[in-house]
Structure 1
């Protein structure tokens, strides 16, 4: 599949690995893919990120992703659902961290390493890479670009899509920023 990735998409994947390594994460997550996309300064995805205001709010996006990691990858919707049955996720995280140290529930801790010693890709990150291929094929694009990775992150329900939506970059907004009004892909969005 990687032979179909553009130079920009490959740089994004490499950047995600570097983000994971810098933070000592055992796995590359979807959050690392988003951070790597925020690092890009050229290309269609970088243009969309700037147009959506994500580049200007990088610190807020980064903080929101850190909060997701701290909750073990749980979305706010999950936390709200648990609150509905009397479980305060913030209190649970605080008690676990009190007993086991800060970041004890981080979703990117540990994990198996590839034979090269670098972090492996989480199951969710692999799904993003696969979905980017399906999105590219659905758009009749021959190659997978960073823009397809961004669309896949926005289209896949979970914490990263939630962070994007909270920052005004839900799937529809990303598609419009990338491809204009209508995006030309009605019926191509995949839900999960």
Structure 2
């Protein structure tokens, strides 16, 4: 199926992993696919979202609001709460780094490798696709077949995401202020115009 993806649609799939990594998530979900699609604002589907006022920044904020990052550091309130229990977070970090090296308490899931377009030494990790994201990829194929399109583009991926009815996708749509059915019709109109 992946051979039917346009260059831009392939990039969306690859960028979805980058987005999941940057947010500290352990999976690639529909939210990461939507966020990655916005990196191609000139493509149908993504262009529709941009026209509706959705940017990569607003989408990233919405994703972070729906699914907090798994690798976020403890904040000042957390440190204060731990101090009330007799735990000095900075002292714990310092002792751990003295014994085990710098960054000992940082996430162990990241590994040194070659990041996509980022050069040597960038921290990257493989992130698996959640079942709901795999469903979007299958739905993108169905969208292309239903329209008799030869390939799968960014618009088909966006259409697949807009069909998602899982709690995370629905919460994301609500935070973005979009009604999926209405946006879906706008994307289809854009595809008809582009054809």
* Global fold match (TM > 0.5): yes
Q: Which residue of the partner structure matches residue 145 of structure 1?
A: 153
Secondary structure at 1:180's aligned position in 2?
helix
Q: Which residue of the partner structure matches residue 28 of structure 1?
A: 28
Residues 91-122 of structure 1: per-residue CA shift (max 9 Å, x gap): xxxxxxx89xxxxxxxxx999xxxx9511111
Please report the RMSD computed on the Cα atoms of aligned residues, expressed in angstroms.
Answer: 3.3
Mark the runs of 5 or more structure 2 residues left unpaired by the alignment: 71-80, 83-106, 110-123
Runs of 4+ in 1 over 6 A off after TM superposition: none
**What are the residue-to-residue correspondences of 1:30-109 with 2, within 5 Å?**
30-55=30-55, 58-70=56-68
Contact 2:141–2:152, Cα closer than 8 Å, also in 1: yes
Q: CA deviation at 1:174?
A: 2.2
Residues 3-46 of structure 1: per-residue CA shift (max 9 Å, x gap): 01111110111110111222333221111111111222321123
Contact 1:26–1:110, Cα closer than 8 Å, also in 2: no
Q: Which residue of the partner structure matches residue 7 of structure 2?
A: 7
Q: Which residue of the partner structure matches residue 78 of structure 1?
A: none
**What are the residue-to-residue correspondences of 1:123-138 with 2, within 5 Å?**
123-138=131-146
Larger Rg belongs to: 2
How many residues in Structure 1 have an aligned counterpart in Structure 2? 145
Mark the runs of 5 or more structure 1 residues left unpaired by the alignment: 73-97, 100-108, 184-192
Q: Distance in 2 between matches of 1:28 and 1:143?
A: 23
CA, structure 1 residues 41+110, in 2 after alignment: closer, same or farther (shift >3 Å)?
farther
CA, structure 1 residues 24+172, in 2 after alignment: closer, same or farther (shift >3 Å)?
closer
Secondary structure at 2:148's aligned position in 1?
coil
CA, structure 1 residues 33+110, in 2 after alignment: closer, same or farther (shift >3 Å)?
farther
Residues 115-173 of structure 1: per-residue CA shift (max 9 Å, x gap): x9511111111111111111111122121111011111111102224422553433333
CA, structure 1 residues 162+124, in 2 after alignment: closer, same or farther (shift >3 Å)?
same
TM-score (norm 2): 0.62
